[in-house]
Structure 1
Amino acid sequence: MSDHTKAVLRPAAETVYADQLAALATDDSGPRPDGWQRTPRAVRRFIIGDKALGIDAKFVNDDALVDRCIVSLMGRQGLMLVGEPGTAKSLLSELLAAAISGRSTAVIQGSAGIIEDHLRYGWNYALLLAEGPSPGAMVPSPVLSAMQAGHIVRVEELTRCAPEVQDVLISLMSEKTITVPELGSEYELRAKPGFNVIGTANLRDRGVHDMSSALKRRFNFETVHPIADAGYEKALVARQLKERMAEHPQATLPDSDVLDLLVTVFRDLRLGRLEDGTMVASPKAVMSTAEIVNLAHAATLDATYLDGGTVAGGHIARQLPGVVFKDVVEDARKLRSYIDLVARDRANKSTVWRDFFHAAQQALARIEIGD
């Protein structure tokens, strides 16, 4: 990891994985779409991994999904990734952009504050007043910059943008052109090969600003599901936790039994059933893989800096209410039921579950007294 990578909290994917991208470039023969820095096969290897080249798997959810995404971006339509929160939609979009364009930082974060200029262009008003409208006075949006460079642009949480802002994308994606009337009726900026759009949308945001049918037709939709295989999920959590804790060399990472417990608790509550098919109450809170990593990170920091020891089931239990208790009172009762019924039974058979159960009882008791 370079000094530049260490100097920021979250470097871009093309910075973090610069060595892997360079390794892929050494053997990247085959057909390549115009404007792409790497062949589709190399993009695929970068995302799903290639042990022979020392390329780590970065998205372990669904190899076929990755293939479909790559194919979509070779065409004229954009790619829309939808799914529940925490299913790595943004990660996948970043990895695709980094591998295809060598740059993942052309991003628009969708929100109520986004205006049409954020998708087209603005003006440097000092130059505008001094010189009048000119190409030099324009301030290109991330979309326009990506069009001019032939890069991928990412629009995160597209459904949080107002309908009139979303509508700007319709003509941009159809015509691949931005007209600048201030510079003359025929002044146009056209996209170079390699330009495309990756959007993401949260299924829990339905009804905020739904996309029009016209805009939906400009995208190929792919749903990113939670990781189905518990073993894959555990391996992903372990890898991402190791990356996060690299800046804390004195820390001891959780052992396999603790990670098993953590992933099992989240999967039980996310799916609303145990491995044997027994139904349990599922909270409305997001119980995603991303939240597992956040909790594992917090538990490891707790064990390292406050307890001076290794991560145990109790550290997991103490951090769990912060994930489950958001703004739905009923979720507290659902977690209490899970602890009293499921965790109590497992505590009779496992030391790590026993530690988790007793710490969870204490944590819930403090919360209930506070209520």
Structure 2
Amino acid sequence: MTDDMLRAPAEVKYAEELDYLESIDDGPKPFSWRLSPRMVRLFVLGSERADGLDREIPQKWFGDRSFVERSIVTLASDRGLLLIGDPGTGKSWLAELLSAAICRNSTLVVQGTAGTTEDHIKYSWNVSMVIAKGQSRESMIPSPIMTAMEGGVIGRFEELTRSTSDVQDALISILSEKYVSIPELDTDNIVFAKPGFSIIATANSRDRGVNDLSSALKRRFNFVRIPVVTNKRSEAEIVRFRTSELLRRHAIELEVPPSLLDVLLQSFADLRAAAASATSDDERLESALSTAEQIGVLEDAILHSQFFGDRTLRSETLGSSLVGSLARRSPEDLAILNKFWHGVVEPRSRDDDGDGPWRGFLDGGRQAISTLS
């Protein structure tokens, strides 16, 4: 079934795992949860030998265990959960995994934008049915949030701070009152949330000030701040996990040399250090330099090697992909990358062995900078 989908939701992709965990789960389950909180945590963070399972459950989200536990505890209460952090820190992925484990449905999603309206989180109408039969529950189109309320499951709201204050105000009543009134109807005009309903929202900490959350809305959420992953070991695990998924999806047989992964991780660490010491935005790359962007650089290099190379990932290709992916502003980003290549990459290449990866990485990046300049 997953072969027919470009990207299968977590509950489909990991259906066999979820079935197994549900079959052995004898822990207490809040509301209508499919798994107990302990099994939800195990599904997200992976199993350990001490868990005593007949099969291994791989880790799917890489981060501090306390963040996952606090998220699960929040969802077992009557409060909403707000995952906040920089771009690429895995907020949406964690929200999807939690929804899949708790209710086997992660697709009840509203995407927050400047064009998101109150209808997107409440309901709208099938115009042709209204003309033919009038307004009724049958001619009403429930939003993903209302569908989650009626089913007692998890609804998701992506990029909450990008939605307008009107939409945020409408969300306050849903989170506090746990029902939606339908004034257009005379009867059957209230949709009550069933036990188990909750909302997982995400917010980009870099978008602070776009549409600030009101204090009233903040009180309806428990905040879990997801930091940027800076531990190289954890970051390497995330990149390997996502890259292996990419290779399987594209049916590509290609090995990522550990030395090239080290070059990628070290380059991002150096670029983050340079951004932290910069005194103005003009001296920082527009990129957030997140783990997700590292994966994007590696994906670009792998696909380029597969389709236009000799199906071997080389350091030159990785250097070119990094420059191409991170140079978004011209000339600002190109100037920053050029300085980085001269001040950091070039000295590393001199210290490298004759056949080390930094020499090729230096040449590939230089050529890309020259082409884009």
Q: Give the partner amino acid of 2:105.
A: R
CA distance in 1, matches of 2:30, 2:336: 51
| SS of residue matched to 1:348 | helix
In structure 2, the CA distance between the partners of 1:273 and 1:146, relative to structure 1 (3 Å rule), is closer
Q: TM-score scaled by structure 1?
A: 0.93
Q: 1:173: how far off?
A: 0.5
CA distance in 2, matches of 1:295, 1:312: 13
CA distance in 2, matches of 1:248, 1:176: 43
2:9 to 12, 17, 20: 12
- 1:196-345 alignment runs, 5 A limit: 196-272=198-274, 282-327=284-329, 329-345=331-347
Q: How many residues in Structure 1 have an aligned counterpart in Structure 2? A: 362
Contact 1:35 1:194 in 2 (8 A): yes
Q: 1:170: how far off?
A: 0.5
1:98 to 97, 100, 113: 100
Which residues of structure 1 form unaligned runs of 5+? Answer: none
CA distance in 2, matches of 1:309, 1:102: 38
CA distance in 1, matches of 2:265, 2:360: 16
Contact 2:284 2:336 in 1 (8 A): yes
CA distance in 2, matches of 1:250, 1:14: 24
Once the two structures are superposed, residues 161-182 of structure 1 have per-residue CA deviations (whole angstroms, 9 ceiling, x without a partner) of 1111111000000010011111
Identity over aligned residues, as a percent?
39
Once the two structures are superposed, residues 205-240 of structure 1 have per-residue CA deviations (whole angstroms, 9 ceiling, x without a partner) of 111111111111100111111113101111211121
CA-atom RMSD in angstroms = 1.9
Contact 2:324 2:368 in 1 (8 A): no
Q: What's 1:40 paired with?
A: 37
In structure 2, the CA distance between the partners of 1:210 and 1:250, relative to structure 1 (3 Å rule), is closer
CA distance in 1, matches of 2:303, 2:107: 30
Q: What's 1:175 paired with?
A: 177
Q: What's 1:120 paired with?
A: 122
CA distance in 2, matches of 1:273, 1:112: 29
Q: 1:328: how far off?
A: 6.0
| SS of residue matched to 2:40 | helix
Once the two structures are superposed, residues 272-298 of structure 1 have per-residue CA deviations (whole angstroms, 9 ceiling, x without a partner) of 389xx9x9x652312111111111111
Q: 1:333: how far off?
A: 1.8
1:359 to 341, 360, 364: 364
Once the two structures are superposed, residues 47-98 of structure 1 have per-residue CA deviations (whole angstroms, 9 ceiling, x without a partner) of 0001443211111111110001101111111000111111111001101111
Q: Give the partner amino acid of 2:7.
A: R
CA distance in 2, matches of 1:20, 1:217: 35
Contact 1:270 1:283 in 2 (8 A): no
Q: Give the partner amino acid of 2:58.
A: D
Q: What's 2:155 paired with?
A: 153
Contact 2:286 2:329 in 1 (8 A): no
In structure 2, the CA distance between the partners of 1:154 and 1:265, relative to structure 1 (3 Å rule), is same
Q: Give the partner amino acid of 1:212.
A: S
Q: 1:247: how far off?
A: 3.4
| SS of residue matched to 2:200 | strand
Q: Give the partner amino acid of 1:358.
A: D
- Displacement over 3 Å in runs of 4+: 247-251
| SS of residue matched to 1:272 | helix
CA distance in 2, matches of 1:128, 1:349: 73
| SS of residue matched to 1:197 | strand
Q: Which moved more, 1:36-45 or 1:295-304?
A: 295-304
Q: Does 1:189 align with 2:194?
A: no
In structure 2, the CA distance between the partners of 1:161 and 1:328, relative to structure 1 (3 Å rule), is farther
Contact 1:240 1:293 in 2 (8 A): yes
Contact 1:270 1:288 in 2 (8 A): no
In structure 2, the CA distance between the partners of 1:250 and 1:209, relative to structure 1 (3 Å rule), is closer
Which residues of structure 2 form unaligned runs of 5+? Answer: none
Contact 1:159 1:211 in 2 (8 A): yes
CA distance in 1, matches of 2:249, 2:68: 31
Contact 1:245 1:297 in 2 (8 A): no
CA distance in 2, matches of 1:188, 1:29: 36
Q: 1:250: how far off?
A: 4.3
